[in-house]
Amino acid sequence: MSQSSARSVNGQADGHVPRTDLIRNAALRHFAMHGYDAASMRQIAADAGITIATLYFHCSTKEQLLFDVLESHMRDLSAGLDSALAAAGDDCLTRLATAIRFHIQYVTRDEEGASISTAELRGLTGELRKRHQATRDGYERRFRDLLKDGVSAGVFAPVDVPVIVAGILGIGLSVGRWYRPGGRLTPDQIADEYIRFVLKALDASLPAPPVPDRRKRPPARASRRPR
């Protein structure tokens, strides 16, 4: 089958999309709908408009296809974040707000990618898992650096950076799962809410929240009344 006769996941002829993209788009759809374990390579091939033999020519295993889909998603995510930050200037607040806005806007455009990015990671093993984890770590490191810069400048309160960044990224992933177009809030409005929430929590000018004294032992349980 020639590339010009390949069909997209919705069945429409699409001679302008590279075959590898057609395959990855079909795989993304099936992984998101059915999960990695239940997704069928034969059905993915049919949705991409190719034979099963052609599919295995482009990717040797189902795990390799999952890796390709996840890596493509993370590369797009990282490149988009870099582009947004390049136009954000040097202000710590603006840069973190820009990163959060980009993250949320991206997942609302790509809810299928958001739904499989973490849930299906368990499908990768060995070297493929290590390679993809390194890509994910690179994206997370961008957020950690933004937060560290703000803490060093005294703009953000001293916090546990890995914990806070995990929370910020988790917010984006959750939005990608529940957001639907046409809802009460637009992606920009959702981003506004979370940006205010995060920046307020990081405001170095606010007093630190009270921390319980963990050295205190919990109260002893009441003993039974004697009969």
Of 41, 59, 77, the residue at which a domain comes to its end is: 59
The reply to whether 4 falls in a domain is yes
Q: Does 79 share its domain with 96?
A: yes
| pLDDT score at 224 | 54
Which residues fall within 8 angstroms of residue 59, CB to CB, at 6 or more apart? 23, 65, 68
Q: Does 20 share its domain with 131?
A: no
Q: Does 127 share its domain with 36?
A: no
Residue 70's alpha-carbon distances to 103, 129, 143, 201, in angstroms, are 16, 10, 19, 32
d(CA 214, CA 223): 24
Q: Does 176 share its domain with 88?
A: yes
Please give the tally of structural domains in the chain: 2
The reply to whether 116 falls in a domain is yes
d(CA 209, CA 222): 31
Q: Does 94 share its domain with 5?
A: no
d(CA 167, CA 111): 18
User: What's 89's domain CATH number?
Assistant: 1.10.357.10
Q: Does 193 share its domain with 125?
A: yes
Nearest to 172 by CA among 111, 86, 124, 119: 111
Counting Cβ atoms within 10 Å, is residue 73 exposed (0-12), middle (13-18) or buried (19+)? Answer: buried
Q: Does 35 share its domain with 71?
A: no
| pLDDT score at 4 | 34
Neighbours of 48 (CB within 10 A): 27
Indicate yes or no: pTM above 0.85: no
DSSP SS3 for 45: helix
**Each residue's pLDDT expressed in tens, for the chain with a length of 227 residues:** 333 333 333 334 345 778 888 998 899 889 888 888 888 999 999 999 999 999 988 888 999 999 999 998 889 899 999 999 999 999 999 999 999 999 999 988 866 666 666 667 788 889 999 999 999 999 999 999 999 999 999 999 999 999 999 999 999 888 888 888 888 999 999 999 999 999 999 998 877 767 676 666 656 565 555 45
Q: Interior CA angle at 64 toward 114 and 71, to 5°?
A: 40
Q: Does 136 share its domain with 164?
A: yes
User: What's 12's domain CATH number?
Assistant: 1.10.10.60
Q: Does 120 share its domain with 169?
A: yes
Q: Does 121 share its domain with 178?
A: yes
Nearest to 116 by CA among 75, 76, 69, 61: 69
The reply to whether 97 falls in a domain is yes
Q: Does 184 share its domain with 121?
A: yes
Domain residues for the domain of 130 are: 61-202
Q: Does 50 share its domain with 65?
A: no
